[in-house]
């Protein structure tokens, strides 16, 4: 796969998507969002890929939207841009396999919002993250006001968005915004290690887990519990539990691919 603003590699059932506009700190423009959407559509139909990792080239993961483009927007164009961002990040969030954000540098504005749409977030100890949109007189437009509040709580989300502060990797970990802080030179390897752990598990079970968690978060608790019950039962129609439990009893690794 070849793109202008992104680099995509696939190895060992892991797709690595790298934002590749380092001269502008990987800022998001319309073209980059459309390329990301195309990649996600392709990956959704590629059963050979079971885990996706997102990262950035150079000093940034994604340092926000492309202000040179956004500064020319009228309200209608701004709405269309936000709608595009929401559409693409919803596809990222709902991709039926795990997505790991390997945050190598600045993850600001739209970059933070991309990370929030991923399942797991690993951050380099030197990286910074935040939602500084109010410094420009706007609010987060790609889901930041909603996903950040759901992940870290409304109070934390309001503080980060109201102040526009960039926070350190350690602070992001403290508030639950990221899962792990690692040395810069170990970032991608750490993301791959987690991906490899996931690859050892039942692929159907992983996909169903993601679906149940995502849908359950936006459902009343009793509805979400019923969803879990029905999905648990559905697992037994796939053949995976039979293989997994047989392997456990025989003290061997499961053979998921049959």
Measured CA to CA, the distance from residue 28 to residue 30 in angstroms comes to 7
Catalytic residue among 77, 93, 125, 133: 133
Measured CA to CA, the distance from residue 89 to residue 228 in angstroms comes to 25
Q: Are strands 6-11 and 14-19 parallel, antiparallel or unpaired?
A: antiparallel
Phi/psi region, residue 201 (left: phi>0; alpha: psi -120 to 50; beta: rest), is beta
Q: How many CA atoms lie within 13 A of 160 on its CB side?
A: 30
Cβ neighbours of residue 225 closer than 8 Å, sequence gap 6 or more: none
Q: Would residue 230 show up in a list of annotated catalytic residues for this protein?
A: no
Q: Would residue 133 show up in a list of annotated catalytic residues for this protein?
A: yes
Catalytic residue among 37, 113, 171, 230: 113
Residue 191 tokens read as 């993301």
Catalytic site positions: 113, 133
């Amino acid at each position: 796969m070849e793109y202008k603003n992104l680099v995509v590699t696939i190895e060992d059932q892991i797709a690595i998507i790298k934002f590749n506009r380092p001269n502008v700190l990987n800022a998001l423009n319309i073209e980059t969002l459309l390329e990301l959407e195309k990649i996600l559509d392709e990956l959704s139909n590629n059963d050979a890929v079971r885990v996706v990792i997102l990262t950035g080239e150079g000093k940034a993961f994604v340092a926000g939207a492309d202000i040179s483009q956004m500064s020319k927007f009228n309200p209608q164009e701004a709405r269309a841009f936000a709608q595009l961002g929401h559409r693409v990040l919803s596809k990222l969030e709902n991709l039926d396999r795990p997505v790991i954000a390997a945050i190598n540098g600045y993850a600001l504005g739209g970059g933070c919002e991309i990370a929030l749409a991923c399942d797991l977030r690993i951050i380099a100890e030197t990286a910074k993250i935040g939602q500084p949109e109010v410094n420009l007189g706007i609010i987060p437009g790609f889901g930041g006001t909603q996903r950040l509040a759901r992940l870290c709580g409304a109070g934390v989300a309001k503080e980060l968005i109201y102040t526009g502060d960039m926070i350190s990797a350690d602070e992001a970990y403290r508030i639950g915004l990221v899962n792990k802080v690692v040395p810069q030179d170990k970032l991608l390897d750490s993301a791959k290690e987690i991906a490899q752990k996931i690859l050892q598990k039942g692929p159907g079970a992983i996909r169903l887990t993601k679906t149940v968690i995502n849908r359950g978060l936006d459902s009343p608790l009793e509805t979400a519990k019923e969803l879990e019950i029905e999905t648990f039962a559905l697992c037994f129609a796939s053949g995976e539990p039979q293989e997994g439990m047989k392997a456990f009893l025989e003290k061997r690794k499961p053979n998921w691919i049959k």
